[in-house]
Structure 1
Amino acid sequence: MSSWNQLVRALKRSLGVGRQQLQVAERHVVLVTGCDSGLGHSMAVYCHNMLNMTVVGCCHNLQSAGAKRLQQLDTVQPGQRSRLYTWQLDLLSAESIQQVHAQLQLLLASHDYQLWALVNNAGVMCFGEFEWQLPAQFELQINCNLLGTMRLTHQLMPLLRQHAARIVNITSHCGLYALPALAPYAASKAALRLWNDALRIELQQYGLEVVNFVPGSFVMDSNIAARQQQHAEQMFLAFSEEQRHFYGNYFKQFNEYLSILSGFKEPNKVQDVRLLAKFKDALTSTQPLTIYIHEPWRYKLYRWLFGFCPTPIADWLAIRFCAMPSYASALGSEKRN
Structure 2
Amino acid sequence: MSALFSSVSTTDWASASNILNQQSPWGLIERCLLVTGISFITSYFFGWMLTIGSFGLFLLLLAIGVPLITFISYLTVTPEGKAIFVTGCDTGFGNALAKHLHSLGYVVFAGCFTKDSRGKGAVELEKEGEKTQRLFTVQLDVSSQESVTKAAKEVEQRLPKNCKGVWGIVNNAGWSTFGEVEWVPMDVYEKVASINLFGTMRVTKAFLPLIRVAKGRVVNVASILGRMGAPMRSPYCASKWGVEGFSECLRFEMRRWGVNVSVIEPGNYIAGTALYTKASVDAQAKNMWENMPEVVKDDYGKAYFDAKIDQMHGYTATGSSTIAPVIEAMTDALTRTFPSCRYQPMQLPEKIKVYVATHLPELVFDYIYT
TM over 0.5: yes
Q: Which structure shows the higher helix fraction? A: 2
Alpha carbons 1:211, 1:291 under 8 Å: kept: yes
Q: Does 1:34 align with 2:84?
A: no
Closer, same or farther: CA 19–298 of 1 in aligned 2, 3 Å: closer
State the secondary structure of the residue aligned to 2:162. coil
| One-letter code aligned to 2:75 | Q
What does residue 314 of structure 1 align with? 365
Give 1:103 shift.
0.5
Structure 1: segments with no counterpart, 5+ residues: 1-10, 263-268, 320-337
Listed one character per residue, the Cα deviations across residues 177-217 of structure 1 (whole Å, up to 9, x for unaligned) are 11111112111111111110110111101111111111222
- Measure the CA separation in 1 of the matches of 2:360 and 2:207: 41
Q: Does 1:44 align with 2:94?
A: no
| One-letter code aligned to 1:236 | W
What does residue 113 of structure 1 align with? 163
State the secondary structure of the residue aligned to 1:211. strand
When normalised by structure 2's length, the TM-score is 0.73
Alpha carbons 1:26, 1:83 under 8 Å: kept: no
What does residue 78 of structure 2 align with? 24
Give 1:220 shift.
3.1
What does residue 173 of structure 1 align with? 224
RCO greater where, 1 or 2, for CA within 8 Å and sep 6 or more? Answer: 1
Structure 2: segments with no counterpart, 5+ residues: 1-37, 39-67
| One-letter code aligned to 1:100 | A
Closer, same or farther: CA 207–308 of 1 in aligned 2, 3 Å: closer
What does residue 56 of structure 1 align with? 109
Q: Does 1:257 align with 2:257?
A: no
Q: Does 1:205 align with 2:256?
A: yes
| One-letter code aligned to 2:291 | A
| One-letter code aligned to 1:95 | E
State the secondary structure of the residue aligned to 1:69. helix
| One-letter code aligned to 1:302 | K
Alpha carbons 2:269, 2:322 under 8 Å: kept: no
Closer, same or farther: CA 271–246 of 1 in aligned 2, 3 Å: closer
Give 1:260 shift.
6.6
Closer, same or farther: CA 23–178 of 1 in aligned 2, 3 Å: same
Listed one character per residue, the Cα deviations across residues 277-318 of structure 1 (whole Å, up to 9, x for unaligned) are 433321122211111111112212322333454323412444
- Measure the CA separation in 1 of the matches of 2:274 and 2:91: 6
Closer, same or farther: CA 302–156 of 1 in aligned 2, 3 Å: same
- Measure the CA separation in 1 of the matches of 2:367 and 2:176: 23
- Measure the CA separation in 1 of the matches of 2:355 and 2:140: 37
Closer, same or farther: CA 147–223 of 1 in aligned 2, 3 Å: farther
State the secondary structure of the residue aligned to 2:179. coil
- Measure the CA separation in 2 of the matches of 1:48 and 1:150: 25
- Measure the CA separation in 1 of the matches of 2:359 and 2:259: 34
- Measure the CA separation in 1 of the matches of 2:119 and 2:281: 18
- Measure the CA separation in 2 of the matches of 1:305 and 1:95: 42
Superposition CA RMSD, Å: 2.5
The aligned runs of 1:199-238 (5 Å cut-off) are 199-222=250-273, 224-225=275-276, 227-238=280-291
What does residue 322 of structure 1 align with? none
- Measure the CA separation in 1 of the matches of 2:258 and 2:149: 25
What does residue 65 of structure 1 align with? 120
* Percent sequence identity over aligned pairs: 28
When normalised by structure 1's length, the TM-score is 0.79
What does residue 329 of structure 1 align with? none
- Measure the CA separation in 2 of the matches of 1:100 and 1:224: 26
Listed one character per residue, the Cα deviations across residues 65-89 of structure 1 (whole Å, up to 9, x for unaligned) are 222222231232xxxx511111111
What does residue 148 of structure 1 align with? 199
- Measure the CA separation in 1 of the matches of 2:360 and 2:229: 14
State the secondary structure of the residue aligned to 1:97. helix
Pick from 92, 106, 128: which aligns with 2:143?
Answer: 92
Q: Does 1:278 align with 2:329?
A: yes
State the secondary structure of the residue aligned to 2:230. coil
| One-letter code aligned to 1:22 | T
Alpha carbons 1:123, 1:224 under 8 Å: kept: no
What does residue 237 of structure 2 align with? 186
Closer, same or farther: CA 259–232 of 1 in aligned 2, 3 Å: same
What does residue 3 of structure 1 align with? none
What does residue 331 of structure 1 align with? none
What does residue 294 of structure 2 align with? 241
State the secondary structure of the residue aligned to 1:74. helix
- Measure the CA separation in 2 of the matches of 1:142 and 1:271: 24
Closer, same or farther: CA 159–308 of 1 in aligned 2, 3 Å: closer
Closer, same or farther: CA 28–270 of 1 in aligned 2, 3 Å: farther
Closer, same or farther: CA 223–66 of 1 in aligned 2, 3 Å: farther
Listed one character per residue, the Cα deviations across residues 107-141 of structure 1 (whole Å, up to 9, x for unaligned) are 12x52124221001111111111110000101111
Alpha carbons 2:219, 2:330 under 8 Å: kept: no
Count of residue pairs the alignment pairs up:
293
State the secondary structure of the residue aligned to 2:219. strand
Alpha carbons 2:88, 2:174 under 8 Å: kept: yes
